[in-house]
Amino acid sequence: MAIRHYWPMAAAAVGFRLVLVLFGGDLHLSSRPEVSTPLTSLRRLAEGYWLKQASMSPYSGSMYHGSPLLLSVLGPLTSKRSGGHNAHIYCSLLFVAVDFIAAMLIRSTGRTLQMTRDKSLKSLNLTKSVNDSANVSAGDTASLIYLWNPWTIITCVGSCTSPIENLMVVLMIYGACSRLAPLAAFGYVMATHLSLYPAIFILPVTLLLGYGPDTPPTKVFLQKGLSTSRIDMSDNGKSTSQRCFGQISWKPVLHFILWVFMWSCYVLFLNSIILNKVGGLQEMFEKTYGFILTVKDLSPNIGVLWYFFAEVFDFFRSFFLIVFNMNIIFMVLPLAIRLKHRPCFLAFVYTAIVAMLKSYPSAGDSALYLGLLGLFANELAEMQFTFFLFFGYIGVSLLSPVMHNLWIWRGTGNANFYFATGLSYTCLQTVLVVETVSSMIKHDRKLRLLTKA
């Protein structure tokens, strides 16, 4: 069921962003620790660009830790700070366009998933029994959630580079769902280059390219006696390929690996040109990926690692760095084994886990996975604790700036006040991940029971 008046609602979301950018004045969002991090701050990028223009390494000192490519793309815009407000406007207008493109890619991905879902249910003769309980347009829902999410809006107008990172992740998922190996490889390489953590998306992207978009488990089709039948997986109406249940197609996977290698070489080549005579690739790796993994900047953010490493003894710091960094990797393989038939949902789960456990999280990370959550509105229609999660996110969004103000500006609180909101935020994300995974497993179990009946 398509959402009525979708385009007016999408246009209103873009218009609202433009109003905030052009007429909202300086909202001081760029200084908010929930919005900007040491990796995404536009102010730090302006400092890095100034150093590069002065024939110095952009990584001199401890300010800039982002990609050299962003210096070339956004640096010239930040150099117009002589007018004060101009750089903020130019960059925010660019981020508005980036947000809109990401929303359209999410919508197209949702339509591909919806088409695959409908064909799978039709082959199982479950269309009526399942669609009677939930049947909404997942693509329209997800794109509107992404466009109207307050965290997406403040990230867009808050002078940080998170919208570009989110676009690369969405581009990767869209390319994999559409079986476009070069596009998926470009999104994967760029997302990993900008943020490192998207490297774990190699598994869901490989499953998407090899098996196709999300379907019920193979056991459901075997129960129905469809082990030798095939489903037409339409690629946006342009071409049609045949997919056999339980068998992987290695050709698009090999194409993806080849394109990843080519794009990686190209990105490294561009970085070496940009950093020529003002540093090198080794310094870039140390100041970007090394900075992410070692958590050297302990300025407050919406996560919990800054507080933990501010309190831990230096003797144990290396041990806990290994523990926290490996914690993400330990979850990758078990989830991939259990959810291999739903690779796009697996990508959403990885996105939420990264937002929860990364060293420098921000509101932009939550904006991404909450938008992707809408892609599974039909499968997760019976998810529990939605009321608790909805108002929990609202409570954290309101309390975080209050506690930060009491601690930093008014002096009537301390770091524990702000850390408590970050801890609550992490707990909410944990509940969300557990609930979505369990709800998806229950949905697959329901399909098996309906097939038996």
pTM reported for the whole predicted model: 0.92
Asked if residue 300 belongs to a domain, the reply is no
Domain span including residue 12? 6-291+314-452
For residue 233, pLDDT beyond 80: no
Report residue 320 CA to chain centroid gap. Answer: 25
Asked if residue 296 belongs to a domain, the reply is no
Closest CA to 117 of 376, 382, 373: 376
In this prediction, residue 231 has a pLDDT band, given cuts at 50, 70 and 90, of very low
Asked if residue 302 belongs to a domain, the reply is no
Cα→Cα distances 397→35, 362, 366, 404, 422, Å: 11, 12, 11, 12, 10
Q: What percent of the chain has pLDDT over 70?
A: 91
Instruction: Say which residues have a Cβ less than 8 Å from residue 196's Cβ, sequence separation at least 6.
Output: 288, 289, 292, 293
Asked if residue 304 belongs to a domain, the reply is no
Residues 128-181: pLDDT tens digits?
767 655 677 889 999 999 999 999 999 998 888 999 999 999 999 999 999 999
Q: Is 403 helix (H, G, I), strand (E, B) or coil?
A: helix
Closest CA to 34 of 170, 167, 154: 154
Asked if residue 25 belongs to a domain, the reply is yes
Structural tokens at position 22 = 């052009």
| Angle at alpha carbon of residue 101, lines to 168 and 144, rounded to 5° | 110
CA distance 375 to 112: 10
pLDDT value of residue 234: 43
Structural tokens at position 273 = 């040109």
Asked if residue 362 belongs to a domain, the reply is yes
Number of domains, the chain = 1
| Angle at alpha carbon of residue 30, lines to 196 and 100, rounded to 5° | 65
Least confident of 1-15, 136-150, 221-235, 300-314: 221-235
Asked if residue 91 belongs to a domain, the reply is yes
Asked if residue 309 belongs to a domain, the reply is no
Residues 45-68: pLDDT tens digits?
989 998 888 888 899 878 899 999
For residue 237, pLDDT beyond 80: no
